[in-house]
């Protein structure tokens, strides 16, 4: 059975809210049966096995969530890209015509999809990992965020702070449909601060798994539900 975990009932999306679906590794049979040729080709190009499995799981999961929302088969879901609101290029926010709004992320083998009927969402997740001491994007952050990162007492704390900063930044930019080349200067702060990117965005820190840190960007006063998907 493919769908909500055992014991969960109700619609795929919570009414007037955001549902975050969390996925473990998708079975190979679903990868082959569900994904497009271009999606499978990208998996084949992945140099890191876990990254390839995470991407596959994210794409299979997204297709199944959208098919449940739209009452069609997973293979019938057609993804488009909006224009970038900053430069007008064709690399803006992905969408499905006449479908719900969504955002997808994966880290390692874990994937998650946020879906909402009528409001834009942005989702990012990260496992613990090593970060460069001076990432190439560091100088483009707001000054307050750079100062906070400089206060780390050791490499481990700095890695935690960078991960915290990064998931908040990514979630906000995904909601806005703005790429990293344009939006790193948007203030998003850290999870222990009440800093929001703007009056129309709220950032929610999530723990979909004990070792996974995630951030969901929504409109203000949007209910959030986290659920597990069963393959």
Contacts of 29 (CB under 8 A, 6+ apart): none
Domain boundaries of the chain, sorted by first residue: 15-230
Across the chain, mean pLDDT equals 90
- How far are the Cα atoms of 103, 109, 173, 200, 215 from residue 112, in angstroms, in the given order? 8, 10, 17, 23, 11
The correct answer on CATH 3.30.565.10 for the domain covering 15-230 is no
Which position has the higher pLDDT, 13 or 22? 22
pLDDT per residue as tens digits for the range 21-77:
999 999 999 999 999 999 999 988 887 788 899 999 999 999 999 999 999 999 999
Is pTM beyond 0.85 here?
A: yes
Sort strands 101-107 and 212-218 into parallel, antiparallel or unpaired: unpaired
Q: How many helices (H) and strands (E) does the chain have?
A: 6, 10
73 token code pair: 């088969």
pLDDT digits (tens, 9 = 90+) for 106-137: 999 999 999 999 999 999 999 999 888 778 88
Residue 76: closest CA among 87, 93, 64? 64
């Amino acid at each position: 059975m493919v769908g909500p975990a055992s014991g969960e009932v109700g619609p795929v999306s919570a009414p007037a809210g955001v549902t975050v679906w969390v996925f473990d590794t998708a079975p190979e049979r679903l990868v082959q049966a569900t994904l497009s040729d271009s999606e499978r080709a990208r998996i084949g190009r992945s140099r890191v096995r876990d990254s390839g499995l995470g991407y596959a799981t994210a794409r299979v999961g997204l297709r199944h969530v959208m098919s449940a929302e739209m009452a069609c088969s997973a293979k019938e879901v057609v993804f488009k890209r909006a224009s970038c609101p900053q430069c007008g290029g064709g690399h803006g926010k992905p969408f499905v015509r006449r479908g719900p709004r969504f955002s997808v992320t994966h880290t390692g083998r874990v994937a998650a999809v946020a879906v909402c009927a009528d409001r834009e969402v942005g989702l990012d997740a990260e496992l613990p990992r090593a970060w460069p001491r001076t990432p190439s994007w560091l100088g483009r952050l707001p000054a307050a965020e750079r100062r906070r990162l400089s206060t780390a007492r050791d490499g481990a704390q700095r890695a935690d702070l960078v991960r915290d900063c990064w998931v908040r930044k990514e979630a906000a930019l995904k909601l806005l449909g703005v790429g990293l080349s344009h939006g790193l200067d948007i203030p998003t702060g850290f999870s222990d601060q009440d800093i929001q990117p703007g009056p129309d965005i709220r950032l929610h820190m999530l723990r979909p798994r004990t070792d996974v840190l995630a951030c969901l960007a929504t409109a203000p006063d949007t209910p959030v539900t986290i659920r597990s998907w069963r393959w």
